[in-house]
Chain A
Amino acid sequence: MPKKPLDTLTEPMFYVLMALAEGPLCGIDIAEFIRQRSQGQVNIGPATLYTILAKFEKETYIKEIMVEGRKRTYQITDRGLTAYQQEITRLQRCLNDAHMKGGISND
């Protein structure tokens, strides 16, 4: 029986999936990716990152593919990718709603 997916992804969770959607990475590289991609706007603490990785692995959003020294490399699963895409859609819809309500145009 498939597990119930996480209701919503928090900002750090979303960024972790974003990093892994680009390719397999270890925890240290994920933190670095997020820092660079968000231009330092999002900084995930190591314990937060570790908690998210452990939770995602439990929820089968990601899986371990390699261990090198003290680094464990993770890969996003189809389930994780679906959750990530659903979150993008949700955020997009939120943005669209916000633009419509305020009458803000993208042009």
Chain B
Amino acid sequence: MTKTVHRFAPYPIYDFEETTKWLEEMAANGYILKKYRTFLRTASFTKGAPQNIRYGITPKPKSIHRSLSSLEELTAICEAQGWHYMEKIENYCLFNTTDPQAPDLFTDQESYLQSLKTILKKQYRSVLLLLPCLLVYMYILCSSNWYYIIKNGNFFLLLSHWMIFIELLFTSYIPFLMETFYLRKYVKTVEKGEPAKSSKFHKTLHKITVWGAVFAVLSVYICLLFSFKQPAIQSIAGASEPFPFASIQDYYLQPVISKKDSDDNAVNYYKKTRSPLMPVIFDYQENASVHFADDVTDDCQLNVTYVETNYDWLAESILNDFKKNNQIFFSAVCQPLDIGEDDIETYYFIKNNVLYLLQRKDNIIVSSSLTYYLQYALDPEETARISAQHLK
């Protein structure tokens, strides 16, 4: 049985000379390269008999032809001169040969420099393309209604999102940015014909990548764990909550909106504070879906969020869940929400001074299935007033 050994690469892959020298030394000691991973710069080796293998790295050729891919052409030229294509590693191609007569992959400094510059250009482009993605994520985190989530005790939920952001930053963007910076420096060094000093840079980069990744991944999971351990919040959907494991009530029921909090009307206020991270549709199980939306009724000026589902069993389970939690249900005589139908069975219940409505009717959506509305009033003053009326 062959033994596989994993090692951190001591040099960045763009330093072709040092990387191949290291791989050749490993082969001479009986460690034959099996797989090279650019993520965290690890290489897997198979332990065997020492071999004289030469390795070569080239930038991945850019495909500009439709007739024949550039990589195929490059591998054909390499094979004709005794080099075997091993694998593609991001922007690079790895070759090896056991033929001592085979010429080096690069036989002049000019072409080596030229290929490094090609990679550098690609790196610049990727750095610029990734930046807006990170900024958008950051904007979402900063502009959402996390205030309400923290207010309701789920601080760790917010923290876990920030940790995901930090993880992306530390494991992807910063290493990539630093690699680009060091590559630029390396290209300049090669251009001047000076000896490269890449190992020192690489060690810093490596430390940031590894510790950043470890810290961020651990933090995400710890935060999510604490998020689980928050004071029990009644979930209308049972145990099968979607990521990030917050109950629907976290998102929709707890942030009760008061008109006093804002000069704007309630709906604008609600829209303004609603996080883009909040999902519009939750898929629960077996294709059942619950759709969330928000609306303001003209009749009673209630700011409501409603839940609709095409599955009666799901609506029943939501209803039963409220019943199980000793929430008050009562049938309505009048309907504060006019949806233009007569055959609506409406239930009202109260929790935390909020009026909830469950309206049930047949064939409200163009389909043969049943549709149920579960509506939550979000204005405490209005709902208290209306609920008081109904309770009479």
Write the residues of chain A forming the contact surface with B, with a CB cutoff of 8 angstroms. 10-13, 27-28, 31, 43-52, 54-55, 57, 64, 67, 69-72
Contacts and interface: CB of A to CB of B under 8 A. Distances in A.
B78 A72 contact: no
Given A12-B110, A46-B80, A50-B58, 9 more contacts: A28-B76, A28-B77, A31-B81, A45-B81, A46-B81, A48-B107, A48-B108, A48-B111, A55-B114
B115 interface: yes
Contacts of A28: 76-77, 80
Contacts of A31: 77, 80-81
Contacts of A64: 65, 67
Contacts of A49: 77
Given A11-B108, A44-B103, A47-B58, A70 B68 contact: yes
Contact of A46 (B65, B70, B72, B74): B74
A50 B77 contact: yes
Interface string B59-89: 0011011011010111111101101000000
A51 B115 contact: yes
A52 B106 CA distance: 11
A33 B112 CA distance: 22
Nearest to B83: A46
B56 interface: yes
A27 B76 CA distance: 9
Contacts of A43: 103, 107
Nearest to A64: B65
Contact of B103 (A11, A45, A50, A70): A45
Given A11-B108, A70-B68, A72-B65, A47 B78 contact: yes
B43 interface: no
Contacts of B114: 51, 55
A-B interface, 4 closest residue pairs, ranked by CB to CB distance from nearest: A47-B105, A70-B76, A45-B107, A51-B111
A70 B74 CA distance: 9
Contacts of B104: 45
Given A46-B80, A70-B73, A12 B58 contact: no
Nearest to A57: B64
